[in-house]
Structure 1
């Protein structure tokens, strides 16, 4: 089998090497010219030839092209370099499913994608499944929990599909250390220290999940240089055995999808998992859950009710909780375990969390994908806004979606609150606003202002994945 792996920036090296280890003939196309010297050496060790697409004219027969879903080239763009080849196209997600086809059959596996709320959902699921020593890939790192204790396998790691396999391989090395195998302390069988796996992915899912959770498509942003959209990429979630999806997202983007096991959730009463009697609070929000005709992994169809108390200060947080509950019910996780896990969830440091500094309450909403809707929902969760500074800003990074400064500035112009813009994102918004607002270059100075003036602070900050101290 001849394979061409495109894009060495977003996991292509891992995929190319994995295929080469199976004695395949593998070519690599570094479309963004970001290949590091150490990765070039790694590819050379496994006889992976780095090529440009012009090289395809030298090939004949079959060629499998493995590409990221956000590739700014069409299949026709690639085929024109050698029209005589017999092409097969697979996404990075699809090849990861193939590479892992014999892995994880004895454990529950969850894949999480969506535009907003992915990481929060992963860590709610972690709390619920903590007794199973979960293996996790998230935007906060590759992690393994043993008896409730976190082990960081790799911190600076992206949520590309290739890093699902990287996370699994890292966990394998911990369970099967070469030195202990050589010393006879353990054998070289595929030992595991985890009893479940939770994988976050930015643009879809590989399909290895027993349940795939699609949190939402609150913004259907363009990808692949406007050739495709987020909803198209994330439709790969339907390759999972069961899909938990927001009802509004299903109706708007995927109404023609055929899948036998879909469980929906919504704040409204037209879904499989719904909610009522919500009592919002910045510490613990209480509400009643009702679920009807949930299709489960073991073939049951279940219905019931229970009460939840968890950290969910805004509507968007409650939606995330509903997605997590739909996922857990799909896996036949007892409701008592769901209730206990959600009660233990306190938010995520570096995402949504609350803290007290001196006399000031600080609410942090930190996310690489902040947009106008997210800003609006964050502001709406605060009751006494006159007591708050609202700081908005952040960094421009390497996510697929960029913030619409004009749209945000138009929205902020309608508000009559104490707004402070900060960072490079805040500076961009400031230039487009009509009303005067304060600006602080360093977001840390906003904390100082709030504390000094005995004000509370809502910080809505777009973080760059590369700046780990703000994650």
Structure 2
């Protein structure tokens, strides 16, 4: 695939977070970009406002005729979220038009640039966004393809505006083994936990996938790996050069000290055996985000950022939408929304909230994501959700899956150890919330629960006004 010979790019599944970042990059580089998605969303609305046409009908007759002015110069970028039996996919295949997965295109770009690839079953979006922000705020030439919308830039793409050769920060996704297409000079692995078992089959296969990812690292490359992730991948890696471990434990090479949870932020010191940076403040809270920050700081030091640049950059980082996003932070009136959809992510988020708001009643609204994930990790979900005082379970969000008999939200209830626990339909949610009167409220999940966020904020506001007026 030679991008210099491409004139037009069509995205099958353009509304996906990774696909849209790549579409924006091609648009910025002067290519004619268009795409298809099944439904409109705020992200497809933004793309259309940026001048990228998006169609919502799976019908080849609706394709713009200009696409076929030169079929040899047309590239179709495809995500497996769009099935191969899609009429558009079938049409492009019949017409023998070049179809490449998003991961393949990113692989080409990564081979042309110094690439920092951030992988992990949890934490990669926040960590890659934090690295990109630290580099950009220090005026380093950085281009970043991210798996979330950054609060600082309101985008999932950062573009290098200088003529210097870019540092390319890429979120390396393990789903569908996409990260094995990359060509990194530097890797960060934030975690290696069982996930995507519908793709990998079992835990040993996903571990092997991450080992293959490490094997992609160039000869003089650098790997920063979370200490527990290194243990999962096994001792052979520990003997390799260019590997640094990080974590919250003092026994780890790169670690944090004097970690203090405050309402709305975490304060900590960075230590790596040679360098110590005291009094760092991170305004995206959570013990897991302190750990993510350790990796980002280590990368920043590799690129010779000063201590002051790191402290300033970290303090100005506002996180990623739906990653521990605090919407309200007042006494006895706290609302947090988070993308957590794996037991370990839920555990990390809720344990951090407990530390930030000790003694306050914690209520969680959780929407399980995928039937297979709910089935495979039912015990873990119940255990991690037990950190809350009150748990409300919405129906499972199916995404790309068909229902599995016997797999539903109710199967999690029995093992959840909370004062109150129940399944609830979306239309009854606010009625139930009114009876519970939450003090610290958290919405969680990777499905469409984010569409409830504005309604939850409005409900809290209306309840507060009613209380103040004595209604």
TM-score by length of 1: 0.62
- Determine if the alignment matches structure 1 residue 99 to structure 2 residue 108: yes
Cα distance change on mapping 1:422 and 1:41 into 2, 3 Å: same
The secondary structure found in structure 1 opposite 2:275 is strand
Q: 1:199 aligns with which of 167, 170, 187?
A: 170
**In 2, Cα distance between equivalents of 1:411 and 1:102:** 40
Shift of 1:312: 5.0
The secondary structure found in structure 2 opposite 1:424 is coil
- Structure 1 stretch displaced more, 340-349 or 326-335: 326-335
Name the structure 2 match of 1:464.
447
User: CA deviation digits over 1:6-52, x for unaligned, max 9?
Assistant: xx99999x9xxxxx9799xxxx9x99953432333334444569xxx
Shift of 1:357: 6.9
Name the structure 2 match of 1:58.
none
Name the structure 1 match of 2:253.
272
Name the structure 1 match of 2:144.
136
CA contact (8 A) 1:369 1:399 kept: no
Shift of 1:343: 0.6
Name the structure 2 match of 1:208.
183
Cα distance change on mapping 1:117 and 1:438 into 2, 3 Å: same
Name the structure 2 match of 1:229.
205
Name the structure 1 match of 2:300.
328
- Determine if the alignment matches structure 1 residue 430 to structure 2 residue 413: yes
User: CA deviation digits over 1:53-105, x for unaligned, max 9?
Assistant: xxxxxxxxxxxxx9x9xxxxxxxxxxxxxxxxxxxxxxx96x65763465225
CA contact (8 A) 2:365 2:393 kept: yes
Shift of 1:214: 0.3
- Determine if the alignment matches structure 1 residue 355 to structure 2 residue 320: no
Name the structure 2 match of 1:61.
none
**In 2, Cα distance between equivalents of 1:45 and 1:458:** 52
CA contact (8 A) 2:326 2:336 kept: yes
Shift of 1:349: 2.6
**In 2, Cα distance between equivalents of 1:435 and 1:45:** 57
The secondary structure found in structure 1 opposite 2:292 is helix
CA contact (8 A) 2:186 2:223 kept: yes
Shift of 1:201: 2.2
Cα distance change on mapping 1:218 and 1:39 into 2, 3 Å: closer
Q: 1:121 aligns with which of 116, 120, 127?
A: 127
**In 1, Cα distance between equivalents of 2:209 and 2:373:** 12
The secondary structure found in structure 2 opposite 1:306 is strand
CA contact (8 A) 1:264 1:326 kept: no
CA contact (8 A) 1:128 1:338 kept: yes
**In 1, Cα distance between equivalents of 2:83 and 2:242:** 41
Name the structure 1 match of 2:282.
310
TM-score by length of 2: 0.62
Name the structure 2 match of 1:254.
234
CA contact (8 A) 2:110 2:182 kept: no
Unaligned runs of 5+ in 1: 2-7, 15-19, 50-65, 69-91, 154-166, 176-190, 293-302
Q: 2:377 aligns with which of 401, 404, 411?
A: 404
Name the count of aligned residue pairs. 364
Shift of 1:323: 1.8
**In 2, Cα distance between equivalents of 1:452 and 1:351:** 28
Shift of 1:369: 3.2
**In 1, Cα distance between equivalents of 2:448 and 2:172:** 14
Shift of 1:211: 1.8
Shift of 1:139: 2.5
User: CA deviation digits over 1:219-246, x for unaligned, max 9?
Assistant: 4664535265322222204423211101
**In 2, Cα distance between equivalents of 1:386 and 1:361:** 13
Q: 1:369 aligns with which of 341, 352, 363?
A: 341
**In 1, Cα distance between equivalents of 2:246 and 2:123:** 14
**In 1, Cα distance between equivalents of 2:311 and 2:373:** 34
CA contact (8 A) 1:369 1:402 kept: no
Cα distance change on mapping 1:337 and 1:239 into 2, 3 Å: farther
Q: 1:110 aligns with which of 108, 113, 116?
A: 116
Q: 1:282 aligns with which of 263, 267, 279?
A: 263
The secondary structure found in structure 2 opposite 1:406 is helix
Which protein has the bigger strand share? Answer: 1
Shift of 1:306: 0.6
Cα RMSD after superposing both structures: 4.6
